[in-house]
Amino acid sequence: MNSKSQMTNYKKMTPEKILKSKQKHVGHWIRVFGNYWGFRIWNLGIFFFLTLLVFTMGCQRDKAGITVAGSTSVEPFAELLAEEYMRKHPKIHIYTQGGGSTAGIEAVRSGVAQIGMSSRHLSAKEKDLYSVMIAKDAIAVIVHPKNPAKDLSLAKVREVFAGKIKNWKELGGKPGTIILVTREEGSGTREAFQKMVMEKDAIALEALVQDSNGAIRQVVGGDPNAIGYISLGLVNEKVKSLNISGVEATSDNVIAEKYALVRPFLFLFNGPPTGEAKSFLEFVMSPKSQKLLFKEGLVPVLAKSSGG
C-alpha cells in the first residue's frame, strides 16, 4: 500500500480506530523486541550468575566444602539439609546458591558447582549428567486468602495464564482484573508449569515476572486479584492453594498420584558423586533427612539415580 492510499484510508477512519490501528502495530514490535531482548538478558543473567559463583568460591577457597547451585525451589530445602549436615560435620561448609534450574545445570556442567539443583526433568541434551531424585514436589496454584476461588480445572488454569480469561467474574468470583504472576525464563518451576499446564499455549506477556517462589508468594499474598504458582512445600498462611479439578494440593494426594501437577527435585553431578558431595547426597537420601523433607511438605522418594 502506498502512502497516498494509506492516508486516504486513515481519513475514512475515526480517531479511535486510527489509535487502535497504531497501537496494534506498536504492540507487535514491542512483543518482537521484548522477546528478543528478554532472551538475551536471560542468557546474560546465567553468565553473571556463573561469574558470581566463581568469585564466591575463590573468596572461600580456604574453607573445605562444596557448592550446591540451581533451582530456587529446591534451594530452601537444600539449605535446611546443609545446616543439619554441617552440625554433624563442623569442618565442612556447604554453600547453597539459587539462580534457577538451567543455571544450576550449567554450573555443575562447567565445574563451578559440585552439585546442581533442578526442579524439572532433564532435557535430552542434559541427560549426560548424573541425576538423583531427592524428593517429589507439587506445583500449587495460589491466590490471596481472601479470594473466594477454591477450585479450577486444569483447562481453566491454562486459559487464565494464557490471558484468555481476564476477570475473576468469568470464574464466578467478584469482579476484578486477574493479575498474573509467573517465574522467569530458565526457572524449573516455570518450565514444569509450561509443560504440565500450558502445553502449547504461552503464558501471557502481561504477566508479572518474579525470580523466586518467595517473590511470587509475596506478590500474590499482597493482592486479592493475583494468581501465581509455587512449590507446594513453600505454601504458607499468606496465600491459599487452589484445588485442581477437585483435587487438593497435598502431600497425601501426591503420594496417591491423585494430584496432577507433580515434578521431581533433582541433585545433579558431573558423573557419579565422590568425596564430600557423595557424603552429602547419602545424608540427603537417609531416612532421617527424607522424613525432614516430608515434614516440610515434600514427598520422599527411594534412591533413584541415572547416569549419562
Residue pLDDT, tens place only, 165-176: 999 999 988 999
Residues 161 and 245 placed together within one structural domain of the fold: yes
Query: Residue 89: its pLDDT value, please?
Result: 94
Tell me whether residue 27 is in a domain: no
Residues 161 and 86 placed together within one structural domain of the fold: no
Strands (E) located in the chain: 65-70, 93-99, 115-118, 130-143, 151-152, 179-183, 208-210, 226-231, 240-241, 243-244, 262-269, 304-306
Cα-based angle 109, 187, 198 (whole degrees, multiple of 5): 130
Residues 129 and 186 placed together within one structural domain of the fold: no
Q: Residue 271 is placed in which grid cell?
A: 558423573
Q: Which residues contact 245 (CB under 8 A, 6 or more apart)?
A: 151, 152, 153, 154, 260
Tell me whether residue 152 is in a domain: yes
Residues 125 and 184 placed together within one structural domain of the fold: no
Enclosing domain of residue 51: 42-134+265-306
Query: Residue 238: its pLDDT value, please?
Result: 97
H helix or E strand, kind and range, residue 228: strand 226-231
Tell me whether residue 197 is in a domain: yes
Q: What are phi and psi of 27, to 5 degrees?
A: -60, -40
Place of cell 558423586: 273
- The CATH number of whichever domain residue 251 belongs to comes to 3.40.190.10
**Domain end residue (candidates: 237, 255, 273):** 255
The residues with which 130 forms a beta bridge, in sequence order, are 269
Residues 166 and 242 placed together within one structural domain of the fold: yes
Tell me whether residue 4 is in a domain: no
For the chain, how many structural domains are there in total? 2
Residues 148 and 229 placed together within one structural domain of the fold: yes
Residues 142 and 245 placed together within one structural domain of the fold: yes
Residues (pLDDT < 70) of the chain are: 1-64, 302-308
Residues 143 and 245 placed together within one structural domain of the fold: yes
**Domain end residue (candidates: 212, 235, 255):** 255
What pTM, to 2 d.p., does this model score? 0.75
Query: Residue 126: its pLDDT value, please?
Result: 95
Tell me whether residue 164 is in a domain: yes
Quickly list H helices, 60-97.
75-88
Query: Residue 173: its pLDDT value, please?
Result: 87
Query: Residue 87: its pLDDT value, please?
Result: 96
**Domain end residue (candidates: 234, 255, 276):** 255
